[in-house]
Structure 1
Amino acid sequence: MQTYIALLRAVNVGGTGKLAMQDLSRLCSELDFAHVKTYIASGNVIFQSKLSAKQCREKLELALQDYVGKPVGVFIRTPEEIEELISNNPYKEQANNRVVGIFIDAQPESNILSTVRGQQEELIALGSQHIYVLYGEGMASSKLVIPAAKSGTARNMNTILKLASLSRQSPYL
C-alpha cells in the first residue's frame, strides 16, 4: 500500500468549510483508506491506500462534497514528494512559520511570477507542484496575490515538516 498525505483546501479557515477532523477521519476510513491520521484542524490527513493518488483524490473530493455540500479541493502528495518540497526549499535558513508552500495541481509555469500583484517584501520561488513564499514580519498584513495559487492550498513549513515526520512513522513505513 502507498502512503499519501492529503491537504484540503479552505477547511476550517476563516469560518468557512467547517469540517471536524474526526469526521474527516471517518470519511477516509469509509473510503477504505487505511491507518488514517489527521493533523491539526486545517485539513491534513495521512493514510494508506492501494489506489492511485488520482483515484484517492477523486474519491475524497466526492465524499467531501456530499458531506459539506460544496466542492472541497484535495491535494494528494506522497511522502517522497513532501520530502522533495522540503529539500528544495530555497528559504531553509528562514523561520519556518514565515515560509509557506502553496500546493497546486501542476508544475507552475515560469511566467506566473509576472502575474503576481501586491508583492512587497515577500520572496517567491517555484517548485515542482508548489510555490514557495517567504513572508516578512508583516505576514498578516500582506497584500500578496498569486493568481496561479487561487485554487491551491497553503501550509507553512512547520506543518509540512510535521506531516513529513508523521509519514515516516509506523505504520506508514
Structure 2
Amino acid sequence: MRWVALLRGINVGGNNIIPMADLRACVSALGFTGVATYIQSGNVLFDAPGRHATVVKTLEQALSTSFNYQAKLVLRSAAEMQEVLDDAPEGFGSDRTQFKYDVLFARPGVDVAAVLAEVPVHPEVDVATAGRHALYYRRFIARETSSRLSRLVQMPVYKELTVRNWNTTLRLVQMATSVQTSDA
C-alpha cells in the first residue's frame, strides 16, 4: 500500500527541526520501502503493509522517539489522496492570480463536515468547503490580511488538522500515484 504521511508542526518557526534525510532514514528503518519526501514541511511517501491505524501508530511512535517531539500526522493512502483532488470544489485551484488555495487534512475520526462549522471565514474574503477527507479553503490574495484562516491555529480543532497548499497537494498526489518516486 502506498501512503502519504503529512506531519504536523515540523520545520515551522524554528520548532521540531527535522532534516528530510533524517526523516527518510527513520521511515526506512521501520522497514517501509519506496520512501520519498517532498519539501521541508513534513511530507513523506512510502510503501508499507498493514492497516491505517497500525501504520499511524508505528510511525508516530518512531518519529516521537527519533526526533524528541510529540509526533502527530495525517495518513492518507494514494487512493485517498486522489479522492482529495476529485472532491475539490469545481474550479478550486484554477485562478492562482486572484486566490490562495489550501487543503486542511483531518486526522482519523474527525468529522470533516462538523469541522467546517468551526472553521473561521470572512464572508467577503474566504470560502471553505468540506470534502470526504479534507476541507478546501480559498481566500482572495488582495485581501489576504483580512482572511480568518490564521485564526484556526488558536482553535482546539486545529490540533486535528494539518494544512497544505494546493500546489503541494497536487505534487503529493502526483508522487503517490506515479510508479516512480523521487526526493525533493
TM-score (normalizing by structure 1): 0.87
Amino acid at match of 2:179: S
**Mapped partners of 1:115, 1:170: distance in 2:** 38
**Mapped partners of 1:117, 1:60: distance in 2:** 31
Are residue 7 (structure 1) and residue 6 (structure 2) matched? yes
Any residues of structure 2 matched to 1:54-65 within 5 Å, and which? 54-65=53-64
Contact conserved, 2:106 with 2:112, CA < 8 A, in 1? Answer: no
* Structure 1 pair 141–32 and aligned structure 2 pair: CA distance change class (3 A): farther
Contact conserved, 1:4 with 1:53, CA < 8 A, in 2? Answer: no
Match of 2:136 in 1: 132
The two structures, once aligned, show a CA RMSD in angstroms of 2.2
Match of 1:95 in 2: 96
Q: Which segments of structure 1 move beyond 4 Å, counting only runs of 4 or more?
A: none
Structure 1 stretches lacking a partner, 5+ long: none
Contact conserved, 2:122 with 2:148, CA < 8 A, in 1? Answer: yes
* Structure 1 pair 171–54 and aligned structure 2 pair: CA distance change class (3 A): farther
Equivalenced residue count is: 171
Q: Which moved more, 1:47-56 or 1:85-94?
A: 85-94
Match of 1:143 in 2: 148
Which secondary structure does the structure 2 equivalent of 1:135 belong to? strand
Which of 115, 125, 129 is the aligned partner of 2:118? 115
Structure 2 stretches lacking a partner, 5+ long: none
Are residue 37 (structure 1) and residue 49 (structure 2) matched? no
Q: Percent identity?
A: 27
Contact conserved, 2:80 with 2:133, CA < 8 A, in 1? Answer: no
Contact conserved, 2:112 with 2:135, CA < 8 A, in 1? Answer: no
Query: Shift in Å at residue 7 of structure 1?
Result: 0.5
